[in-house]
Structure 1
Amino acid sequence: MSEEGYEDDPVVDEVRPYALTSGRTRSVIDLPLEARLTLEPSARHHSWPPEQLVTRIVEVCAQGASVAEVAAVVGSPLGVVRVLLGDLVRDGHVRVEATLRDGSSIGERHELIERTLSGLRAII
């Protein structure tokens, strides 16, 4: 307890999410939750700062995850992850794979549903 009778503020080890995005709340590109992400060669040769959220995001993208899966695996708010992913896409480090289109087959639609369910199960 301090002299005023209040407990000292706890030390916070994490940076606030809005600080990671410089206060931005929207991605520079539209990123659907189900969009699959893949790394471009530039990301593999880039020197990412260790123990940073962007580094963890890049590592998860290397596994071919969706936007929602990346947020779940790194344990950060979806909005923050979308903004950072948008920056990585804009800078040419991550590629967004095409999602469903009007002409998508029944098989493609079922595959998306299965991936979505699998991702949800992983979160729970």
Structure 2
Amino acid sequence: MATTHWKVRPYVLIGGRTRTRRHLLVHTLVSVPFYDALFASRLLPEARSLYEHARETRSVAELSAYSGMPLGVTRVVVDDLASTDRLVVHPDTYDSPFDFDLLERLRDGLRQLA
């Protein structure tokens, strides 16, 4: 039964919650303005990993990848940490989650490779 432990852990970590108070997209940037080692030592290992990786400004998707947690779990843990004011969720700098200039450059680059 040891193989099922990791499947239960994320559910337990977030208490079964799936919703967040903040609108956190995969590209939403978060950071730790002031790292508190004592606070970090009291966190569960998964939350501590997110907190420590956010010492550098990173996206929610990056934090998910670094910590190895599913994206939905990462969003809830990020939201919980932001509620303690230990982690800052940066506002999106544009109205749309789609950067059309970037998409056009990507399209043009793919055409050049074809």
**Contact conserved, 2:33 with 2:55, CA < 8 A, in 1?**
no
Q: 1:12 to 1:44 in 2, by over 3 A?
A: same
Are residues 1:48 and 2:40 paired?
A: yes
Q: 1:13 to 1:23 in 2, by over 3 A?
A: closer
Match 2:56 to one of 63, 69, 77:
63
Task: Give 1:79 deviation, angstroms.
Answer: 0.4
Q: Larger Cα Rg: Structure 1 or Structure 2?
A: 1
Residue in structure 1 matched with residue 109 of structure 2 by the alignment: none
DSSP-derived class of the 2:28 partner:
coil
Q: Give the Cα separation in 1 of the matches to 2:79 and 2:44.
A: 20
**Contact conserved, 1:54 with 1:84, CA < 8 A, in 2?**
yes
Counterpart amino acid of residue 40 in structure 2: W
- The runs of at least 4 consecutive aligned structure 1 residues that moved more than 6 Å come to none
Match 2:75 to one of 71, 82, 90:
82
Q: Give the Cα separation in 2 of the matches to 1:16 and 1:99.
A: 31
TM-score of the two chains, using structure 1 as the length reference: 0.66
**Contact conserved, 1:27 with 1:84, CA < 8 A, in 2?**
no
CA RMSD after TM alignment: 2.8
Q: Give the Cα separation in 1 of the matches to 2:58 and 2:77.
A: 15
Task: Give 1:45 deviation, angstroms.
Answer: 4.9
Q: Which has the higher helix share?
A: 2
What are the Cα deviations for residues 91-123 of structure 1, in whole angstroms up to 9, with x where unaligned? 1011111223249xx8xx64xx99xxxxxxxxx
Q: 1:10 to 1:22 in 2, by over 3 A?
A: closer
* Runs of at least 5 residues in structure 2 that lack an aligned partner in the other structure: 107-114
Percent identity reads: 27
Q: 1:11 to 1:68 in 2, by over 3 A?
A: closer
Residue in structure 2 matched with residue 94 of structure 1 by the alignment: 87
